[in-house]
Structure 1
Amino acid sequence: MLYLLHGTDREKILNEGKKLQDMLLKKRPDSIVEKFHADRWTAGEIEAYAKSEGLFGNKYIVTLDSLFTLEEGGEGLFEILPSIKDSLNIFFVLESKLDKKTLSKIEKFAERVNEYSLPTHKNTGAFSIFSLADALGARDRRNAWILYQKAKLSGLEDEQIHGTLLWQIRSMRAASKSNSPAEAGLSPFVYQKSKRYSSNFTSRELEILGDRMVEIFHTSRFGGADLGVFIERELLWL
């Protein structure tokens, strides 16, 4: 059985995932809890949990956290989704905002899909986070840095800002490697903009930038520097 929790509100996703896990543990106190992260899993391991039971018939509760944060990192999950869906064990997939193509592939196998996203902005001002994404796409480091400061002043959290920037990078990569919006898994409007912006970078530069954005997210989560410091650095390095 599969539960998908995704969106830009990372704190809410983690809290709701913990609540569901605790609720299941009350019903199944002998369950065995396992957790996998983007840099520590294989499709074979996950499928083995989907098809097995613990010692003495114990069930597993397995959390798959941020597998899609790495470029093509979660691709191997698609092939084993049928096994997860039919499993007697419980699987939680916790992800940031997913593109339509990835979401549609997962949700058809999910018992429940919940999206938890932060508001686009917390005040009544006209600031749009997508103006910052556009500055990144245009490779305008000065404007990107200024817009980052405006984003912070408008009340946006660094995790939402980071998620939007990573979405822009991935959209550019997808558009640069495809010939149509459908192939890229993007809306026509986003595809056209991303295709245009991708010409400001080489394919290798987009790959490196995407990898660095994923790395700074994980580093900040596990006790590194503040995420905002990392974001500013990346914008100034455009």
Structure 2
Amino acid sequence: MLYFYSGTDTDKARNALSDALEKKAKNTPVVRITDAHTRADLEAALQGGGMFGGERAVVFDNVYTSDDLREVLSEALPRISKSKDVFFMLESTLDAATRKSIEKYATEFERFDSKKIAKAETIFSLANALQSGKKKDLWVGYQRELQGGKAPEAIHGVLFWAAKQLLLKSDTPRARMLVAELAALPHEARRQGFELEYALEHFVLSRA
């Protein structure tokens, strides 16, 4: 079984994981794997305690930070979800699609995102980034708004407004394309069974 904790508020996520360890794996030996471990270390942890090894708990701490370990752990998730061993997973920075791919194998999952945002960094800086074509600022701003607790619907609304304002100022192919894509985005997301957050992330990344 797998208990999954994610989000940018690392302190809260770690506290939740520690509480879960205390409740679900009390007096059980703990194996901890981080992104600093080797592929061999991870594979050994995934092998299980063995016939005479007894019960144990395994903690994966930001393993997805390492591309090499990420590949191994991703492939092992279906097996982990059915294991009698108790697995705990902590990840601080994941895109929406990756987070969802882990959550579907988790017995329980919680997400803790920091809501602290600098006052000067408003959601309208995201609009400015879209209009000016600043790809990095657009991605950073999008992540900041999500972490600040903005609903995907609100973020989409601001981006759509920004695209329409750009079109009013300058009727260019780029402006028309942005308006058309953002107008269709919620409908396409529903039609394809995607959450709006994931569809927005794909849109933002396609600008980068």
Whether the 8 Å CA contact 2:33–2:61 is kept in 1: the answer is yes
Whether the 8 Å CA contact 1:59–1:89 is kept in 2: the answer is yes
Whether the 8 Å CA contact 2:2–2:107 is kept in 1: the answer is yes
How far, CA to CA, are the matches of 1:117 and 1:5 in structure 2? Answer: 11
Q: Which position in structure 1 is the counterpart of 2:94?
A: 98
Q: TM-score, normalised by structure 2?
A: 0.57
For structure 2, the residue ranges without an aligned partner over 5 or more in a row are 149-188
Q: 1:86 aligns with which of 82, 86, 89?
A: 82
Q: Which position in structure 2 is the counterpart of 1:191?
A: 202
Output the amino acid matched with 1:58: G
Output the amino acid matched with 2:10: R
CA 1:117–1:132 in structure 2 vs 1: closer, same or farther (change >3 Å)?
farther
1:68: how far off?
1.9
Q: Which position in structure 1 is the counterpart of 2:23?
A: 23
For structure 1, the residue ranges without an aligned partner over 5 or more in a row are 149-155, 162-180, 199-238
Q: TM-score, normalised by structure 1?
A: 0.51
Pairwise CA RMSD: 4.0
Q: 1:65 aligns with which of 61, 73, 84?
A: 61
1:79: how far off?
1.0
5 Å matches for 1:133-172? 134=129, 138=134
5 Å matches for 1:113-152? 113-119=109-115, 121=117, 127-128=122-123, 131=126, 134=129, 138=134
| Pairs aligned (count) | 155
CA 1:190–1:50 in structure 2 vs 1: closer, same or farther (change >3 Å)?
closer
Secondary structure (helix, strand or coil) at the match of 2:109 reads strand
Q: Which position in structure 1 is the counterpart of 2:37?
A: 40
The one-character-per-residue Cα deviations of 1:20-70 (angstroms, maximum 9, x if unpaired) are 1122343xx2x221111113142x544543443268542121111112224
Q: Which position in structure 1 is the counterpart of 2:70?
A: 74
Secondary structure (helix, strand or coil) at the match of 1:8 reads coil
Specify the structure having the higher radius of gyration (Cα).
2
Output the amino acid matched with 1:127: T
Secondary structure (helix, strand or coil) at the match of 2:59 reads strand
